[in-house]
């Protein structure tokens, strides 16, 4: 696959948006999209963890698993490594970077075992990205996550005030709204000839 950096970024950001096109990471999408503030905090944690996880798993996969012929172990190994890594980073932040810890703190453990993180690390391997492209891809994915969850949180803040019949109040109307937003994102399909 020959893609330049811009195509990878845009593809991850809009065309194949992780939430609305790939439908990965839906638990935080509905769980913490009640308010724009929490959505932004969560997005920060996602970008942060996604980037870390990408680097560590990419190196681990190509330096350890491939030479040893243990490629089939990647699911177990990636989960283990990502969970341990985030645990470690959380402790490190708490000790040395208090400001960042209080900004991301409560969201870090929430996102650790999320499928969005695992999904991105797998996609990086499956697409055969080099480390630079993998970095670009995970940043793009993280930004796409941010865009959608913040937009959607704003929609949900308005939904909270809207006169909605009781049977639709809360999650039902959120799911309906999400499907409409997803339809809207379908408009990006094939943008600039990106289809991966």
Partner 1 sequence: MDLLLLLKAAAGLGILGLLLGVVLLVASIRLAVKVDPREERVRSALPGANCGGCGYPGCDGYAAAVVAGEAPTNACPVGGASVARQVADIMGTDASAPEPVVAKLICRGGTEQAPNRFQYQGATNCRQAALLLGGPKACIYGCIGMGHCVTVCPFGAIRLGDDNLPVIDEKKCTGCGACVRECPKHVLRLLPASKLVYLACASHDKGRAVKAVCKVGCIGCGLCVKNCPVGALKLVDNLPVMDEAKCIDCGICVHKCPTNSFIDRARGRPRAVINNNCNGCTLCATKACKFKAIEGEPKQKHRVITEKCIGCGECVKVCPKDAIDMVGALGHAHSSPRTI
| Residue position matching structure tokens 């890594």 | 85
Using alpha carbons only, how large is the chain's radius of gyration in Å?
18
Q: Which residues bind partner 1 (CB under 8 A)?
A: 64, 68-70, 72-73, 76-77, 80-81, 84, 87-88, 91-92, 94-96, 158, 161-163
Least Å distance, CB 62 to partner 1, is 15
Minimum distance between the CB of residue 178 and partner 1, rounded to whole angstroms? 21
In terms of CB distance, is 69 or 187 closer to partner 1? Answer: 69
| Closest of 132, 52, 120 to residue 86, by C-alpha | 52
Give me the least distance between CB of 95 and partner 1, in Å please: 4
Q: How far apart are CA 92 and CA 117, in angstroms?
A: 20
Residue 188 CB, nearest distance to partner 1 (Å)? 29
d(CA 57, CA 77): 9
Distance of alpha carbon 126 from alpha carbon 188, whole angstroms: 23
By the 10 Å C-beta count (0-12 exposed, 13-18 middle, 19+ buried), 149 is classed as buried
């Amino acid at each position: 696959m020959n893609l330049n950096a811009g195509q990878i970024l845009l593809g991850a950001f809009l065309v194949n948006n992780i939430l609305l096109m790939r439908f990965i990471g839906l638990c935080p999408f509905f769980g913490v999209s009640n308010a724009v503030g929490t959505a932004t905090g969560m997005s920060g944690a996602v970008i942060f963890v996604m980037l870390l996880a990408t680097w560590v798993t990419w190196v681990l996969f190509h330096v350890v698993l491939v030479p040893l012929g243990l490629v089939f172990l990647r699911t177990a190994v990636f989960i283990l490594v990502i969970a341990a890594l985030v645990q470690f980073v959380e402790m490190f932040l708490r000790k040395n970077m208090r400001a960042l810890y209080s900004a991301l703190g409560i969201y870090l453990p929430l996102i650790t075992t999320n499928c969005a993180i695992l999904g991105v690390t797998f996609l990086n391997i499956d697409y055969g990205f080099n480390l630079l492209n993998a970095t670009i891809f995970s940043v793009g994915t993280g930004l796409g996550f941010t865009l959608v969850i913040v937009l959607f949180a704003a929609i949900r803040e308005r939904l909270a005030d809207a006169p909605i019949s009781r049977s639709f109040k809360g999650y039902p109307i959120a799911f309906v709204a999400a499907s409409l937003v997803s339809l809207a994102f379908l408009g990006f399909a094939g943008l600039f000839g990106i289809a991966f």
